[in-house]
Amino acid sequence: MRGIYLLIIDSNYPIEVEVGALGEIGFHEGRYIYVGSAQNGVEKRVERHLRDDKRKHWHIDHLLEEAQVKEVMGYGEKKKEECRTAAILKEKFSLVEGFGCSDCRCDSHLFYSEEDVDSLIEKIRDLKGREDLLLKDVKTQ
């Protein structure tokens, strides 16, 4: 299915990660929300993100070496909704400057929260104005 997805990522402790051209980035302990799109198949893209054995291609690949995906939310929406969703999240959460947005004009596609995973999911559903449509049963790390 074409669409966009959000990865809810958990870091149990502060970490430093080398993220390609962005250089070394410090990540706080807490939850991160990553917004991505996959117009050729969200399920395959998410499965790739969840694999341990992969070539680092996207910024998120570097973070996922150290942190764990706890939940996946998917939406059958066009690519432009990826940036709209990032703009919505920017209003409510701290951002990691320049992360995941090298192909658009957004400030970031990665956002930080200290909230627990369940509260975060509910807040995102409220912000998006609807339930996520797929990927509820994707196995997380």
| Helix or strand run (H / E) with residue 120 | helix 117-128
pLDDT, residue 128, reads 84
Burial 81-97 (b: 16+ CB within 10 A, else e): bbbebbebbeeebbbbe
Residue 51 contacts by C-beta under 8 Å, 6 or more apart in sequence?
none
Q: Is residue 28 part of a domain?
A: yes
Give the total number of structural domains in the chain: 1
Q: Is residue 138 part of a domain?
A: no
Residue 119 contacts by C-beta under 8 Å, 6 or more apart in sequence?
none
Range of the domain at 23: 3-128
- Which residues is 36 bridged to in the sheet? 5
Q: Is residue 19 part of a domain?
A: yes
| Chain centroid, CA 3 distance in Å | 14
Q: Is residue 137 part of a domain?
A: no
pLDDT, residue 136, reads 46
Percent pLDDT > 70 in the chain is: 91
Q: How far is CA 111 from CA 60, 85, 93, 100, in A?
A: 12, 11, 6, 10
pLDDT of the chain, 141 residues: tens digit per residue: 889 999 999 999 999 999 988 999 999 999 999 999 998 888 899 999 999 888 988 999 999 999 999 999 988 888 899 999 999 999 999 999 999 999 899 999 999 999 998 898 889 888 887 666 545 445 444
In this structure, the number of other CB atoms found within 10 A of the CB of residue 101 comes to 20
pLDDT in tens, 66-86: 999 999 998 888 889 999 999
- What is the pTM assigned to this prediction? 0.90
Q: Is residue 135 part of a domain?
A: no
